[in-house]
Amino acid sequence: MRERRTRESRSWAYAALLFVATLFSTLYVGAGMHGIDPLKSAEKEGWVKGWFALWSGWDYAIPLLAILLAHEFGHFLAARWHRLDISPPYFIPMPFSLLGTMGAVIRLRERIACRNALMDVGVAGPFAGLAVAIPVLIYGIFTSPVEPLPKSGSYLIEGRSILYLALLWLIKGPIPQGQDLMLSPTAFAGWVGLLVTMINLLPIGQLDGGHIAYALWGKSQHQLSRWFRNALPLFAVLSGGYYALQALAEGRSASRVLSESMAGIQWFVWFVLLVLMDGIGGAEHPPTDPSELSPFRRACGATAIVIFVLLFMPSWMRMVSE
């Protein structure tokens, strides 16, 4: 018992350290969204000025971490409800990246034997994270301006899902040709919440979607997982081809067509990462005991599938060059 308490204390201390590091890394990225470099501010004006410059990124870091915390503690609390041995969430800081973090990981230290428990743990994270992400995104869209797109140079266009487009239309109405929503840091945090939920709901391996699929269909999930994972390069090609052909039909420049052809590259990168993590054949989901899934859990699984469809983005992020 004492050894377990010591292990838990160390796990939570390590998790707290990583969370603080991720807070700083997302604050740093958020400050950059305001055109502020805290490191340069510290170098030129002292560490006190650099410290205050860092906190200028709070309007990105705080909502993003709230979304990720809700997601991870959804899993954690559902697992604890079923008396499962689960680690605290370990956040991954990445200060010199687009998002400032690679999210968080949480580890079950034992197999989930009950299908109902597997469904509860699987859906709790996406549902909880989305419950925070949607209000954040709605507020962010309200406070983000619609402006003309640059006529030259390169710029990023965020992925568009059915849910995102619906919220954009309801809040801003039809956006004129040649203009777009310029996401505020808070709006971007809400959009990242949709992206993270979409990725996690893929029915692959031991992603949240993999847990949900296994709870619904048992060992049939193994084939579904392999099919989805091996289809990711095809998604990459189809996404890039769609946007490239669209640019070509609009008479865009060769540089625009070429940049649009890379619109689906994230799907290929994700495929490579999954292969590295799970091997060529793909890791099979641990089995559960033969038991019936309750009607309520089946409804939760069906809801998760609908949410995945509403959140699906053909391209996560497009770098457009005019």
DSSP state string for 133-181: HHHHHHHHHHTSPEEEPPSSSEEEEE---HHHHHHHHHHH-SPPTTEEE
206 CB burial (10 A radius; 0-12, 13-18, 19+): middle
Residue 179 pairs in a beta bridge with: 148
| Residue 132 near residue 67 (C-beta atoms within 8 A) | yes
3-state helix, strand, coil in the chain (%, to 5): 65, 10, 25
What pLDDT is attached to residue 256?
A: 87
Task: Quick: pLDDT tens for 161-216.
Answer: 999 999 999 999 999 988 999 999 999 999 999 999 999 999 998 899 999 999 99
What pLDDT is attached to residue 3?
A: 66
Please report which helix (H) or strand (E) contains residue 82, including its range: none
Phi, psi (deg, nearest 5) at residue 235: -55, -40
Mean pLDDT of 6-19: 88
Task: Quick: pLDDT tens for 106-118.
Answer: 988 888 889 999 9
Give the up-direction half-sphere exposure of residue 42: CA atoms within 13 A in the CB hemisphere. Answer: 12
pTM of the predicted structure, to 2 decimals = 0.93
What pLDDT is attached to residue 320?
A: 80
